[in-house]
Structure 1
């Protein structure tokens, strides 16, 4: 006999729409919705997709009453809560282009945050900015730094009459502007079209997640980053999937709370950069081990180089909690491709490729190898349907399998272009439709392996040194954590590349500076066979991108400018 509740269930549609607002119109007919949790693990707010639709429509009318021309850009301070989401989807109904902006005050304090927001608003050419009440004054002050728009709080907008007309986007218009995670002094605003976001989320939901009506997702990722926005707001909404949220700042204070709430809510899908899994298992206390992760069928990982050993450590620590290593879903993607480019579904162990370390250091060829000296790379899988990945050499010619080169991508998920493309006159996407990601990698048997950023590769005495190998070796020392080390090359007066390593060091460890430097130098010599210039810096000194990735280029710039405070 068919359950009457099954008869009444809304038929599942996985991003089978032409625009985001059509997807929310449909999701509003479902019983699914969103829940927001406090840093104490208490549910603070619940919002059904029906409620979100009502709030977004009202927000759209209020925005319409402000009189901005169609296509005007609106900066949105992306706090984890209903206000941001109502404004983001409200823009879809109002014909205004939302631009998610960081909510967390960056390292360096209020002045650095103000300068950052001003740079992003200028880069987006935003006419309006909506801010949380606590940050409104800072956003307003951004006008003194060259931004000429107007700023309102979400609360002030909500007090305006919702008397404007709805003017929702058409399929051939932009959906939003996403700033790439590496954005620093010169932010790159990525224009994502309606067709691109629908193509990418459709592939994510059908090919990678294989979403079902029984799924429930959980995220602590920020909404201003593509993985948080697309992966855990847009995609779930387009699949009528419920989502639970923990603010990124709450995760940073209590990483293991992520695991506990997933246990309490029987979460089936989550995602995080690799360092998130490392932090969670490191902070897992004895009173938090009574958790059940047996429902978790997808534990996605992406955003930076994926360390298989860290994931295996997480799986081993949580095995008694029902976590299965086959839940890990390594992936590769970037804002310029909306979010996802490839996925590697595992049927057991984490998919890795073992290559000869010496061959890797001496050439651009990934030679298969075995044994403890082999270098492990996590496999990022095959491209999404309808997308192409090509590896090319410096001349732009395709290379053979297992030859490392630059990664080019093509497909319906690619951005419309950068905001600045029109002024620069040099489109980022070539006439053949391919986009140069700036990443290095290789392919074999159809699978993609990412080896690192092209600009980060260190050339030392004829050798290729991968900075993450240096950093990982040092991070194994007592008292260090992921993201506390940055390795890069500095050109010396005689033209040589000197390996330079910045290591965050607590005051206690700094009291024994010579011993700490000796330990770091020994770790580098043992793992890489080279000498390095070691600089100890204060905790929190190293810069990160919006996705939580270490910015080696930013660290190098700080070091060369003399603005990095050392402990010498």
Structure 2
């Protein structure tokens, strides 16, 4: 690691001495060994756009080997799990790679800043560590007290900071992985009560990074990546870190919390280093547009003419936000042809489909009736009909088979909306240590039920929504069960009294909403309940929800008596589920 000063030079964009290989390796160890022969690497910036750390892939490899020896020396066995707090730093990168040299599985988990209160964060950490049966944890020094509380009672091989791990004795020899060994676990849902760790093999990872690098973004020699995405998120971990390693690209990282404070730092780093490739959920582009509108001098010194690909993913893509971003930043060189819509999910390692490079956003006009959860044949906008813009998420990568299926699991023809099913090398092996949940989404033949609704047209996939109940806020997934569980901890709120759903906001973004059955009649008591529920949910899950109190026994149920969130959402949006207080 190079500590930056005023004269620090970032790793180069070009490296003519090392021919690019598109992840055609057997394992992640083989990939880092090859990247280490070149000059490229990772660079870490602060919110002002100043470089604070420079890490060549060679330095990352060397540090990773040293860490791997320490893990073996500490007694970690092949297949053991180490929770790895995902700080945007050289330490995280090196430790993640060091785990590969010991055949230990890193499990990236979020920093406290990405969550609500301390209590909710500690609970999340405990749940995820128990879910993956973690054998150890590595976290920054400033988290020592939180880690001690979260790991109390757990039987760990070792817990500490990078410095603590490096004090250990070296092991006799490294433990190298095989292609079908697991490389890491990825928590896809953000769930605290019902965590699901996606088990990703080396073969799956390298197949996916190969497809994304070669066919998805069509990497060229002059490409340089810039990212603020967190390393605990699949798009940040696989898309901007592991793909840049396995395809030998230099990358510039801004910590997520720094981006949240100063969103335009993203654009400053792109400008300074002539970044060509970047990715974000819709809300990242939205934040930058809003911030630029706040100050007339906001865009002074910025130049986005180098951006070849501005990828969009992780949540429903909103064309209105993309248009506003282009209108705002066109004057400093940004081209709307740089937009590259995509579709992916952690259960497929990351990438599934990509739009056509250089084409920008392509849309269909689709009947709004699709949003009710009923299956309709696709009908492009007819005069007078209520329609919605649906973005073309592009062509599936060559490795995938894809089917759109109806409720009876029968494949549908082109142009009909149904559940998206996928099969390919990049599909996960399982939800770690959770065979029941695995069986619910993964068939014996290897078909994954993504839980997303979409249709095919001319070989491309269009995603229209989700059949599953998951709520996405600012690119982060939240299971409604978590939100409901938090609300049900309040005295007087019974299990089954609460339904967590999402509704369209002012700009078509998802807004989380709790519908809670209420037996109180006094207005003051109702107001107190609303405030208590908001506070409880925020502290437990980090989600800021709207609250609507509804009459007792008004939430819809299935024939077996289970809560139906889909029906509750439809009834609420149709005005058939009246609130007694908000």
Cα deviations by residue, 1:246-279 (Å, 9 ceiling, x for unpaired): 0000000011111111111100000000000000
Tell me the distance in 1 between the aligned counterparts of 2:409 and 2:111.
39
How do 1:80-479 and structure 2 match up within 5 A?
80-144=88-152, 150-284=158-292, 285-290=295-300, 291-345=302-356, 347-358=358-369, 361=372, 363-369=375-381, 373-422=386-435, 426=439, 428-456=441-469, 470-472=503-505, 474-475=506-507
Structure 2 contact 514–546 (Cα < 8 Å) conserved: no
Provide closer, same or farther for how the CA distance between residues 536 and 320 of structure 1 changes in structure 2, counting only shifts above 3 A.
farther
8 Å CA contact retained: 1:60, 1:164: no
- Report how far residue 403 of structure 1 moved: 1.9
CA offsets, 1:389-431, max 9 Å, x none? 2111111111122222111111010111111234778374212
Q: Is the 8 A contact 2:376 2:416 kept in 1?
A: yes
Report the counterpart of residue 563 of structure 1 in structure 2: none
SS at structure 2 position matched to 1:354? strand
Is the CA contact 1:389–1:410 (under 8 Å) kept in the aligned structure 2? yes
The alpha-carbon deviation at position 359 of structure 1 amounts to 6.9
How far is the alpha carbon of 1:138 from its aligned partner?
A: 1.4
2:577 aligned partner: none
Q: Of the candidates 512, 515, 539, which is equivalent to residue 486 of structure 1?
A: 512
Verify the 8 A CA contact 1:136 1:151 in the aligned structure 2: no
Residues 130 and 268 from structure 1, CA distance in 2 versus in 1: closer, same or farther, beyond 3 angstroms? Answer: same
Aligned residues of 1:281 and 1:317 also touching (Cα < 8 A):
yes
Q: 1:7 to 1:348 in 2, by over 3 A?
A: closer
Q: Distance in 2 between matches of 1:382 and 1:269?
A: 19
TM, length-normalised to structure 2: 0.79
Question: What residue is the counterpart of 1:511 in the other structure?
Answer: none
Structure 2 Cα separation of the partners of residues 440 and 351 of structure 1: 18
RMSD of the alignment, in Å? 3.4
| Alignment check: 8 A CA contact 1:83 1:154 kept | yes
Q: Which region of structure 1 is more displaced relative to structure 2, 357-366 or 309-318?
A: 357-366
Structure-1 separation of matches of 2:357 and 2:541: 28
Counterpart-to-counterpart distance in 2, 1:237 and 1:442: 34
Name structure 1 gaps, 5 residues minimum: 459-466, 477-481, 494-513, 515-533, 561-565
- Give, in whole Å, the separation in 2 of the partners of 1:275 and 1:370: 30
Alpha-carbon distance, 1:347 to partner: 4.2
CA distance in 1, matches of 2:389, 2:449: 25
- Unaligned stretches of 5+ residues in structure 2: 1-12, 472-500, 520-526, 548-554, 556-562, 569-579
> Are the aligned partners of 2:431 and 2:438 in contact in 1 as well (CA < 8 Å)?
no
1:32 Cα deviation from its structure 2 partner: 0.4
Partners of 1:219 and 1:243 within 8 A in 2:
yes
CA distance in 1, matches of 2:218, 2:314: 21
Contact 1:62/1:164 (8 A) holds in 2:
no
| CA–CA distance in structure 2, aligned partners of residues 292 and 17 of structure 1 | 36
Deviation at 1:300, TM superposition (A): 0.4
Kindly tell me: are residues 6 and 272 of structure 1, through their superposed partners in 2, closer, same or farther at Cα, counting changes over 3 Å? closer
Alignment correspondent of 1:65: 73
Q: TM-score, normalized by length of structure 1? A: 0.80
Count of residue pairs brought into register by the alignment: 499
Distance 2:32 2:260 in 1: 31
Q: In the TM superposition, what whole-angstrom CA distance separates every residue of 1:161-189 from its partner, at most 9, and x where no partner exists? A: 44542111111211111111343311001
Deviations 1:486-536 (A, max 9, x none): 25777999xxxxxxxxxxxxxxxxxxxx9xxxxxxxxxxxxxxxxxxx999
- Structure 1 pair 267–273 and aligned structure 2 pair: CA distance change class (3 A): same
- Please say which of residues 394-403 and 266-275 is displaced more in the overlay: 394-403
Distance in 2, Cα, partners of 1:30 & 1:122: 40
In structure 2, distance between residues paired with 1:312 and 1:550: 28
Identify the residue that residue 560 of structure 2 maps to in structure 1: none
With over 3 angstroms needed to count, the CA separation of the structure-2 counterparts of 1:551 and 1:227, relative to structure 1, is farther
CA, structure 1 residues 82+392, in 2 after alignment: closer, same or farther (shift >3 Å)? same
Shift of 1:68: 1.8
Verify the 8 A CA contact 2:512 2:544 in the aligned structure 1: no
Q: Distance in 2 between matches of 1:7 and 1:147?
A: 46
Pair 226,159 (structure 1): closer, same or farther in 2 beyond 3 Å: same
Deviation at 1:449, TM superposition (A): 1.1
State the Cα deviation string for residues 194-236 of structure 1 (Å, max 9, x = none): 1000100000000011112211000100101110010111100
Aligned equivalents of 2:334, 2:157: Cα separation in 1: 49
**Residue 7 of structure 1: how far off its partner (Å):** 10
The answer to whether residue 31 in structure 2 is matched with residue 23 in structure 1 is yes
- Corresponding residue for residue 10 of structure 2: none
Tell me what 1:510 maps to.
none
Contact persistence 1:421–1:427 (CA under 8 A) = no
Residue 152 of structure 1 deviates from its aligned partner by 1.4
Pair 208,193 (structure 1): closer, same or farther in 2 beyond 3 Å: same
**Structure 2 vs 1, CA of residues 358 and 393 (structure 1 numbering), >3 Å: closer, same or farther?**
closer
Whether the 8 Å CA contact 1:304–1:549 is kept in 2: the answer is no
